Amino acid sequence: MKKGELKERMSRVISVTAEGEASVAPDMAIVSLAVTGQGKELAPTRDDVVVRSSAVLATLRELGVPEADLQAPDVAIHPEYDYRRGQKLIGYRVTRQIGAKVRDLTRLGEVLDGIVGAGANEVHGAQMTASDPSAAEHQALEKAVTAARAKAEAVAAAAGVTLGTVIRIEEEPGTGVGPMPRGLAMAAMSESADASTEVAAGDLTVTRRIRAWFAIE
């Protein structure tokens, strides 16, 4: 096809965007937590955080989280100052971040209770995810393409032209698996031995968005 013919063909197109969604059940939770301590002296504050974070890691291992699914960098030390007194050092805040992948969701509540009992004093949440969302991604793409054709047909009908074949399809960036599921509910953690964390994981939503160009016959 000559350049002029291609340019003429591309000028007779209908361009639309469309979105498709599909659901997938999560099979893994990424738990983010921290062990923190604050004190006037660095050594005892750091030792306290190290001991409690080691207990948290031991608990995670006992609950079936393998070493490969644990992340625990070294402690971070933050001096604290009183700037009202000319930047006087008043103590230290020590933090150790810990991440864990929980692949058995039936034990997620037990894991959350266990890490709090072992000494974690900051639990940032449990992000549900799917280890292999490819089937849902393909389904979402199929729905997006179907929706794009339906939209293009509506545009063509309104314009009084005949819709031809698809010329080009591009997937737009910024689509993926929803980071948090609908229906993730964590009961408030309590120091009471009778209180337990209840977790209900709903389906994840996979979204795919495309732009499609259709020829006008």
Q: What is the CATH number of the domain that holds 159?
A: 3.30.110.170
Which run of H or of E encompasses 11? helix 3-11
Q: Is there a single domain that holds both residue 110 and residue 194?
A: no
Q: Is there a single domain that holds both residue 209 and residue 156?
A: yes
Q: Is there a single domain that holds both residue 34 and residue 19?
A: no
Q: Is there a single domain that holds both residue 44 and residue 111?
A: yes
* Local mean pLDDT, 10-residue blocks, the chain (217 residues): 55 92 94 96 97 97 96 95 88 97 94 94 91 94 97 96 95 68 38 58 90 95
Instruction: Answer yes or no: is 3 within a domain.
Output: no
Last residue of a domain, one of 106, 129, 152: 129
Last residue of a domain, one of 87, 114, 129: 129
What is the predicted pLDDT for the residue at 191?
Answer: 45
Q: Is there a single domain that holds both residue 166 and residue 113?
A: no
What is the predicted pLDDT for the residue at 86?
Answer: 83
Q: Are 14 and 165 a contacting pair, CB within 8 Å? A: no
Q: Are 211 and 16 a contacting pair, CB within 8 Å? A: yes
Instruction: Answer yes or no: is 53 within a domain.
Output: yes
Return the structure tokens found at 102: 């929980």
Q: Are 127 and 189 a contacting pair, CB within 8 Å? A: no
Q: Is there a single domain that holds both residue 36 and residue 114?
A: yes
What is the predicted pLDDT for the residue at 177?
Answer: 63
List the domain range (segments joined by +) for residue 146: 12-26+131-217
Q: Is there a single domain that holds both residue 43 and residue 119?
A: yes
pTM to 2 decimal places? 0.71
Q: Is there a single domain that holds both residue 49 and residue 113?
A: yes
Closest CA to 113 of 50, 194, 49, 54: 194
107-116: burial string, b at 16+ Cβ within 10 Å, e else: bbbbbbbbbb
Q: How far is CA 45 from the centre of its chain?
A: 32
Last residue of a domain, one of 73, 96, 129: 129
Q: Is there a single domain that holds both residue 123 and residue 111?
A: yes
The total domain count for the chain is 2
Q: Is there a single domain that holds both residue 43 and residue 107?
A: yes
Q: Are 199 and 105 a contacting pair, CB within 8 Å? A: yes
Integer CA distances (angstroms), 210 to 6, 12, 198, in order: 23, 20, 38
Q: Is there a single domain that holds both residue 120 and residue 155?
A: no
Return d(Cα 143, Cα 32) in angstroms, integer: 34
Q: Is there a single domain that holds both residue 18 and residue 75?
A: no
pLDDT tens track for 55-92: 999 999 999 999 999 999 999 999 999 988 788 999 99
